[in-house]
Amino acid sequence: MITSKILTINPNPEETKIAIFKSTKLIFLKTIKHNSKDLSQFKKFCEQVDFRTNLILKELEENEIKINQIEIIVARGGLVKPLKSGVYDVNEKMIEDLKNSPIGQHASNLGGLIADDIAKHIPGAKAYIADPVVVDELNEVARISGHPLFERKSIFHALNQKSVARKFAKSINKKYEELRLIVAHIESGISVGAHKNGRVIDVNQTLDGEGPFSFERTGTLPVGDLLRMCSSRKYSKDEINEMITAKGGLFAYLGVRNLTELEAMVDNGSEKANFISFAMAYQLAKEIGSMYTVLEGDVDGIIFSGEIFHWKKFANYVSDRVDKIAPIAIYPNEDEMEALAMNGLMLLKGEVEVMKYEG
């Protein structure tokens, strides 16, 4: 019987989500909000470690969580160097790369750093990350972009996609490694992956906004028009990057960033909101169709993951175009906290081996 507790950590730009699990049971969940004034004193995400760690420890103490019962801390992984899917011990090399990422700065880089910091406060506790966004299992042909100066990269919602794929496999009494799946996950961005026998052999690069547009990301834009915009000097590099990754998609068209606001606009009769929602579903269906060709027309299931699939209208927009490909399974409540905890539980049960990050 497992008595140890698992602490999971998911840092975002303006909040830190924490949860405590005992086996599969969630016993504590908290989203710690950070105001912009507190965060403005830090120039880099990595400088926020002590600030966020202290808030987490304070929250646990105030809620009478005995931290000495925490054995494993599993955090959302950041922009380290590309690696295989799995659970990784937070070591010195990883800490170095999280602080000075070879890819870029992102709030998720804080996950491993905070986990390591908290582990130092708990005798015997160990810090890990699981299936970070840089999981890279691409087929070599999927890396070809169209010009040798550019290579397609794998940066996507690996944690979520792997988690729902394993859940689906279990639901049909199969092993994940036996299946060929298309998984679509939606948050602020959209990732669509082709899963073949336990590997994501092709996927859109979600961080930079490749693929379908989403709540905040533009998706793939017309290259010529984007080039002309960059050359016009009307916008700075940072402004264009923000436009593509944080102020694009539904936010650019409608001024909304979440499902509640979007549904309200549609329910209130906004034809524009309905049409743009349909367009997002259309682009998502196109991306799913492309992954059908990657899997050579042999697909065991299509999985929809993310809160927006609670909205039946949107789910139907997508499924009506792709349901002839394979059976569809929907996991709208899938979130990082549970996915992180399940990786921690597999560690406690000895079902997976800890992998070493070598950079």
Q: Are 136 and 151 in contact (CB under 8 A)?
A: no
**pLDDT confidence of residue 2:** 59
SS3 assignment, position 245: helix
> Over pLDDT 70: what percentage of the chain?
99
Q: What is the pLDDT of residues 76-87, one digit of tens each?
A: 999 999 999 999
Domains of the chain: 5-134+336-349 (3.30.420.40), 140-326 (3.30.420.40)
**Confidence tier at 23 by pLDDT (50, 70, 90):** confident
Distance CA 115, CA 68 (A): 15
Collapsing DSSP states into helix, strand and coil, what is residue 88? strand
Measured between alpha carbons, how far is residue 268 from residues 163, 253, 271, 277 in Å? Answer: 35, 17, 9, 14
Q: What is the mean pLDDT of residues 51-60?
A: 95
| Residue 190 host element (H or E) | strand 190-196
172 has a pLDDT exceeding 80? yes
| Closest of 82, 96, 94 to residue 127, by C-alpha | 94
Quick: pLDDT tens for 128-156.
Answer: 999 999 999 999 999 999 999 999 999 99
Q: What's the Cα-to-Cα distance from 235 to each of 214, 216, 218, 225, 318, rounded to whole Å?
A: 22, 18, 16, 13, 34
The structure's pTM equals: 0.92
User: Among 191, 75, 54, 175, which residue's Cα sits nearest to residue 130?
Assistant: 75
Question: Quick one: DSSP state of residue 135?
Answer: B
| Angstrom distance (rounded) from CA 325 to CA 264 | 32
